[in-house]
Structure 1
Amino acid sequence: MGTAHDYLVVNALGELDNPNAAHSSAAAGKLIQSSDDLTIDARTLADAHASGLTAVNITLGYTMGDMPPYEHTLHEIEVWDGIIRDNPADLLKVRTVADIHRARQERRVGVIYGFQNAVAIGEDLGRIDTFDRLGVRVIQLTYNQANHIGDGSMAPENRGLTPFGRQVVEGLNDSRIMVDLSHSGERTCLEAAEISRQPVSINHTGCRALTDLPRNKTDEELRLVASRGGFVGIYFMPFLHASGHASAEDVVEHIDHAVNVCGEDAVGIGTDGPVTSIDDLDAYRARLAEHVALRAAAGVGAAGERSDTFPFVVDLRGVDQFHELVRLLELRGYRSERIEKILGKNFLDYAERIWAA
C-alpha cells in the first residue's frame, strides 16, 4: 500500500490555515473574508509537510464582503508575499510548473495564488495584466452569486457570460492565467469553455449526476471542459451526498464518475479545505448554524449548506487525508499510474498547457 509521500500532490483548491487558532475564522464562527483571518503557524506548516502536500492553490483577494475589491485584493497579495517571505524554508511562491517541481525537490510547499471571484477586475481589463505580474495564476470567474462577468451557480436566471465576461476570458487567455469555472452557473461554464482559446478548469466541484446540487457540475460541463484539454478537481465537501453528510467513499465515487466522464487524464483533487483539522468538532458544531446563517444573509451560500452538516468530509480530513485517499483508490483497483495522475500529475500537465510561454 502506498502513501501520499509516494506521489507529487497538488491540491487544486485548498487552504493553509490552523483553524484551531484563537482568532481564526473557524474558531470564531465567522466568514473568511481576508487572509488576515488565517493562521499559518508551525502546526500549519508541519501538518502540510506530514500530509505529503506538494503545492496548493490558495484563495486570496476579494471573494465577498463590503471591502473595495481591487484594493483589498492588492492587500491580500501583499499579505501572502509576506507570509512566504517569512517562511522561506517551508513555502515557495508558484509561478510556473517548474516551481512546483522545485517545491517537491526542496521539501517546501508550493503556494499558487488564485481568486474565487473575478470581481476585483472591475471594468478595467488592464488589471488582469497587473494580477499576472503580481503572480496570480488562477482566476475563478464567479462565486455562487452573479457578478458583472457571469452568473454563479446560485443565480436563478442561469444567464451565462456577460459581454464583458467574454472579454475577461480573452484577457485571461492573453495573460495565460487559468480560467477557473468552479462555482459558476451551467451556462457560464459551458460558454466560457466554448469561447476560451485555452483549456479551462473546474478546480473544485462534484458530479451532479451523482448528487443533484447546483455546486456540482453536469456531465455535459465536465465532458466539454475535459474534451478541450481542461482539468476537473473533485472536492471533499458535503455536496457529494444528498444528505449533506458526505464520506470518504463519496469522494471516491465522484472521482470515479469524473474519470469515467472525462478520462483519467483530466481529473484531480481540489479539496476546498485545509490540511490541519479542527480539533474540537463539538464546539465547531455549535457555531455552525451562525456560520451558515451569515453566508445566507450575505447572499453567498449554496444549496446543500445546512447547520447540521460540516463543510468538509469528516473521515477525510487532517494530515492523513491524502494518504487515506491513496488507500481508498488502491482498494477501488486504481493502479499507481492513475493515482499519480489524480493526486497531482493531471493538474501539472494542465498547468503546463496554460502557464508555459
Structure 2
Amino acid sequence: MSRHDLTIVNALGILDNPNSEHSLAAATQLNPSSDQLTIDERTLSDAHASGLTALNVTLGYTMGEMEPYAHTLREIETWDRLVAEHPTDLVKILTAADIDRARADRRIGIIYGFQNAVAVGDDPGRVADRVAEFQRLGVRVIQLTYNQANHLGDGSMAPDNRGLSATGRDVVAALNDARVMVDLSHSGERTCLDAIRTSQAPISINHTGCRALADLPRNKTDAELRLVADSGGFVGIYFMPFLNPSGHATAADVVAHIEHAIDVCGEDAVGIGTDGTVTGIDDLDAYRLTLADHVAKRQAAGVGAAGERADTLPFVLDLSGADQFHRLIALLEQRGHSWSRIEKVMGRNFIDYARRIWG
C-alpha cells in the first residue's frame, strides 16, 4: 500500500479557499456563516489532491448574537445547497458506509457537525425533539460546548470547571438515542469526564491535543483520553498552535501528540481532526494582519483560548497545503509506525467509530 491509497478522514476540518476575497472578508468577522465559504475549483482540486476522503465540517450556531436554532437551520440549508452544487465532487455523509462509497466514487464526504449544542434549546420537553430533528436533517456530530460555558456544561475556558448540567445529561441521552456523535472537544475537564461517564454510547474528542505535552486548556488530560478510549471512543489530534507551549507548533509536535495519544489510548482510538483548511495561505504577511484583528475580536468577546495569540498561526505551517496529509504519513512512516497503524490513524479508526455510532 502507498500513502496515496489510504482512506483519509479529517474529524474536524474546513472546506474553503482562504485566499479568495470572499473568504478573506469573512475571516475578519467573529463568527462567519457557511455561505461565506469559497468552495471553488481550487478548493476542490486541492482537497482531491490531498487524498481527503471525508471531513466533519462545522455548521450551525457556535457564537454570536443570532438566534441559535433559526441560524442553525439556515446553515444546514446552506450546506445542502453547497453539496448539491457540486454533485461530482461532494456527497453528504449519513452512515459509516457512505465514507467508503465516497472514496470509491472519488468524491469528498461532508459530515455535518456542530461546535456548540446551544441550538438544541433549554426546554427539557423539547431537547430530544430538537436533537432528532437535527439528526433527520443530516447532522451526525454535536459538540456540547465551545470554549465558553453554556447551559449544558462548561467549555475549556470557563473558570469554574463545573460538570455536566441536568440539561446536558438530557442532551447526551438524546444524542445517544438519535445515534449522533457526542463530541467533547473544547469542553472543560469536569464536563468532559461527566459526559463520558453519562453517555451510553462511546464518545469522541474530534480535535484536541494532549495536555501532558502542552499544558493548555484546549488539550485533554491523560485521564480524559484514557476514559474515551476505554469506552470505545475516538480522539482526533489537531494541527493547532496549542500543541506547543510556545504557540508555534510544528509537524514534529503533531507527530508527538499522535504518539502520546496512542500510548494512552491504544492505536485503535486515535486519528486526526486538523481544524483547518486543505488549501494553504498564499500571502502569510497579509494573513497575519487579518489574524491579529480576528484574535483581538475573539478575546474581546470572551471566546478565545489560552495559547491563541496574534503572533501564532491557527494551523501548523509545515503541515499546511494540499500535501499536508501525505507529509504526515511520511513522518509517521519515518518514525517506524506500521502501515496498518498509519491507515488507522489517517481514517479507519474514525470510520470504525462512526460505524459504532451511526451504523
TM-score bin, normalised by smaller chain: over 0.9
Looking at structure 2, the residues matched to 59 and 26 of structure 1 have their Cα atoms a distance apart, in angstroms, of 19
Compute the displacement of 1:32 (Å): 3.7
User: Does 2:202 correspond to 1:203?
Assistant: no
Looking at structure 2, the residues matched to 22 and 30 of structure 1 have their Cα atoms a distance apart, in angstroms, of 13
Q: Which residue of the partner structure matches residue 106 of structure 1? A: 105
User: Does 2:226 correspond to 1:223?
Assistant: yes
User: Deviations 1:204-229 (Å, cap 9, x if unpaired)?
Assistant: 00000000000000000000000010
Looking at structure 2, the residues matched to 210 and 40 of structure 1 have their Cα atoms a distance apart, in angstroms, of 35
Amino acid across the alignment from 2:94: R
Alpha-carbon contact 2:15-2:57 (below 8 Å) kept: yes
User: Does 2:180 correspond to 1:169?
Assistant: no
SS of 1:23 mapped into structure 2: helix
Q: Which residue of the partner structure matches residue 341 of structure 1? A: 344
Compute the displacement of 1:28 (Å): 4.6
User: Does 2:279 correspond to 1:279?
Assistant: no
Q: TM-score, normalised by structure 2?
A: 0.97
User: Does 2:111 correspond to 1:115?
Assistant: no
Amino acid across the alignment from 2:93: V
Identity %: 71
User: Deviations 1:33-63 (Å, cap 9, x if unpaired)?
Assistant: 3102211111111100000000000000000
User: Does 2:311 correspond to 1:308?
Assistant: yes
Amino acid across the alignment from 1:18: N
CA 1:130–1:27: 2 relative to 1, 3 Å: closer
Q: Which residue of the partner structure matches residue 13 of structure 2? A: 14
Alpha-carbon contact 2:26-2:32 (below 8 Å) kept: no
SS of 2:322 mapped into structure 1: helix
SS of 2:206 mapped into structure 1: strand
Amino acid across the alignment from 1:74: L
SS of 2:142 mapped into structure 1: strand
User: Does 2:268 correspond to 1:265?
Assistant: yes
Alpha-carbon contact 1:57-1:113 (below 8 Å) kept: yes
Q: Which residue of the partner structure matches residue 41 of structure 2? A: 42
Alpha-carbon contact 1:26-1:284 (below 8 Å) kept: no
Q: Which residue of the partner structure matches residue 140 of structure 1? A: 143
Correspondences of 1:14-33 after superposition (within 5 Å) = 14-25=13-24, 28-33=27-32
Looking at structure 1, the residues matched to 75 and 290 of structure 2 have their Cα atoms a distance apart, in angstroms, of 26
SS of 1:47 mapped into structure 2: helix
CA 1:36–1:27: 2 relative to 1, 3 Å: closer
Q: Which residue of the partner structure matches residue 197 of structure 2? A: 194
CA 1:245–1:215: 2 relative to 1, 3 Å: same
Alpha-carbon contact 1:201-1:231 (below 8 Å) kept: yes
Q: TM-score, normalised by structure 1?
A: 0.98
Q: Which residue of the partner structure matches residue 249 of structure 2? A: 246
Q: Which residue of the partner structure matches residue 66 of structure 1? A: 65
Alpha-carbon contact 2:31-2:62 (below 8 Å) kept: no
Compute the displacement of 1:288 (Å): 1.9
Q: Which 5+ residue runs of structure 1 have no aligned equivalent?
A: none
Compute the displacement of 1:29 (Å): 2.8
Looking at structure 2, the residues matched to 152 and 121 of structure 1 have their Cα atoms a distance apart, in angstroms, of 17
Correspondences of 1:325-336 after superposition (within 5 Å) = 325-336=328-339
CA 1:308–1:101: 2 relative to 1, 3 Å: same
Compute the displacement of 1:27 (Å): 6.7
Looking at structure 2, the residues matched to 28 and 104 of structure 1 have their Cα atoms a distance apart, in angstroms, of 31
Superposition CA RMSD, Å:
1.0
Looking at structure 2, the residues matched to 30 and 288 of structure 1 have their Cα atoms a distance apart, in angstroms, of 10
Looking at structure 1, the residues matched to 163 and 291 of structure 2 have their Cα atoms a distance apart, in angstroms, of 32
Alpha-carbon contact 2:156-2:188 (below 8 Å) kept: yes
Amino acid across the alignment from 1:282: D
Looking at structure 2, the residues matched to 52 and 32 of structure 1 have their Cα atoms a distance apart, in angstroms, of 29
Q: Which 5+ residue runs of structure 2 have no aligned equivalent?
A: none
Alpha-carbon contact 1:21-1:27 (below 8 Å) kept: no
Alpha-carbon contact 1:11-1:57 (below 8 Å) kept: yes
Compute the displacement of 1:298 (Å): 1.6
User: Deviations 1:321-351 (Å, cap 9, x if unpaired)?
Assistant: 0000000000110010000000000000100
Looking at structure 2, the residues matched to 17 and 354 of structure 1 have their Cα atoms a distance apart, in angstroms, of 28
Looking at structure 2, the residues matched to 142 and 20 of structure 1 have their Cα atoms a distance apart, in angstroms, of 29
Compute the displacement of 1:31 (Å): 2.7
Compute the displacement of 1:23 (Å): 1.6
Q: Which runs of 4+ in 1 moved over 2 A?
A: 25-33
User: Deviations 1:263-297 (Å, cap 9, x if unpaired)?
Assistant: 00000000000101111001111222211101111
Alpha-carbon contact 1:2-1:326 (below 8 Å) kept: no
Alpha-carbon contact 1:145-1:154 (below 8 Å) kept: yes
Compute the displacement of 1:26 (Å): 6.7
Equivalent pairs counted in the alignment come to 355
